[in-house]
Amino acid sequence: MTFDQLISLPDLKLAQAQLSLPASWGQGRTVFGGLSAALMLQSMLNQLGDQNRRLLSFSCNFVGPLLSETPFELNTQLLRAGKNATQMQTTITQNDQVCLVALACFGKPRSSAIKVAAKDESTLTEVNHKQTLPYIEGVMPAFIQHIDLNLQQGAMPFSDASSSHIGGWMKFKEPAQPHLSVLHLLALADAWPPTLLQLCKGPTPASSMSWYVEFLDDIELAGTEWFAMEAVTHQAEHGYAIEDAKLFSQDGKLLALSRQTVAVFDS
């Protein structure tokens, strides 16, 4: 199933849903985290009930592995709907264990005299299709078969690189229908391996523990466009790292800011 087919599942219209995801979206022993996060966000959007309130921020804690081809429960709760903002929470449980917990904040536009423009600019050059990574079954996570990653800056995981910076373009192989949205950006933002893995000398397990994304605007772009990501390891010590990333549209507009806490098991 494609990403768009999965986020369009009828059960996601319910506040409490039972789902199962195919192994082709696996990431090691768990389901691809970007897909899990997008399913939770889609559930929230379905329960939001106010299209004038756009996504401001999304945070997710990866509590435990979510197994593919195994039923799980997704539960979305409205925490508060105020005059201008709505706060929601979604939890995924499987086999009576909490796997993921997400919080999101939605807000509607208000009149304000304060305006500070985002001045960040992408340093990537145009997409060079020769740099798109081929999917290698058994070497790459299964979910990569659905995604194109075009590496421009940094190095491959486990290459004993000297820099933790990584940058490149990303898109789904199947064009988004009817257009790219915050759901697609959220999922793709988690498609790249943690930045610190390129510092490792050999295959090393790593796992995202918490993730926070702030969205600067709503997103409605052509389904075939690429997103850009530039990320650095902000700090790493004692087996944990903090990774910061900036996410851009293909025309260079800053769309979102991301921060993850990652655990690495290189000992």
pLDDT per residue as tens, the chain (267 positions): 999 999 999 999 999 999 999 999 999 889 999 999 999 999 999 999 888 999 999 999 999 999 999 999 999 999 999 999 999 999 999 999 999 999 999 999 999 999 998 989 999 999 999 899 999 988 899 999 999 999 999 988 899 998 889 999 999 999 999 999 999 999 999 999 999 899 998 888 889 999 999 999 999 999 999 999 999 999 999 999 999 999 999 999 999 999 999 999 987
**For the whole model, what pTM was predicted?**
0.95
In 3-state terms the chain splits into helix, strand, coil percentages (rounded to 5) of 20, 40, 40
CA 229 to chain centre: 11
Domain segments of the chain: what residues? 3-109+126-264
Question: How many whole angstroms separate alpha carbon 196 and alpha carbon 136?
Answer: 21
Tell me, what DSSP letter sits at residue 11?
Answer: G
**pLDDT tens per residue, range 53-106:** 999 999 999 999 999 999 999 999 999 999 999 999 999 999 999 999 999 999
Helices and strands counted in the chain (H then E): 3, 13
Closest CA to 122 of 245, 228, 259: 228
pLDDT of residue 50: 87
Closest CA to 66 of 39, 44, 42, 98: 98
Residues across the chain: 267
pLDDT of residue 112: 92
Tokens of 133: 């990574």
Q: What are phi and psi of 190, to 5 degrees?
A: -100, 5
Is CATH 2.40.160.210 the classification given to domain 3-109+126-264?
yes
| Cis bond upstream, residue 193 (ω within 30) | no
DSSP string over 19-38: E---GGGEETTEE-HHHHHH
Question: How many whole angstroms separate alpha carbon 22 and alpha carbon 68?
Answer: 6
Determine the 3-state secondary structure of 120 from DSSP.
coil
Which stretches does DSSP call E strand in 122-226? 147-153, 166-172, 206-215
CB burial of residue 155 (10 Å; 0-12, 13-18, 19+) = middle
DSSP string over 202-235: S---EEEEEEEEEESS---B-TT--EEEEEEEEE
Closest CA to 169 of 119, 118, 123, 233: 123
**pLDDT tens per residue, range 121-146:** 999 999 999 899 999 988 899 999 99
